Structure 1
Amino acid sequence: MFDDSATEGDDLLIINLDYEWERRNWMRWLHCSESELRLAVETMGPDADNVRRFLRQAA
Structure 2
Amino acid sequence: MSDNKEKTGQDRKEISLGEDYEVRDWTKSLGCTEAELRAAVKAVGNSAEKVREYLKKK
**Normalising TM by the smaller chain, what interval?**
0.7 to 0.9
Q: What's 2:47 paired with?
A: 47
**Runs of 4 or more consecutive aligned structure 1 residues displaced over 2 Å after TM superposition:** none
Which of 1 and 2 has greater Rg?
A: 1
TM-score where L is the length of structure 1:
0.83
Q: TM-score, normalised by structure 2?
A: 0.84
Q: Percent of aligned positions with the same letter in both sequences?
A: 38
List alignment gaps of at least 5 residues for structure 1.
Answer: none
CA RMSD of aligned residues (A): 1.0
Mapped partners of 1:34, 1:10: distance in 2: 22
Total equivalences in the alignment: 52
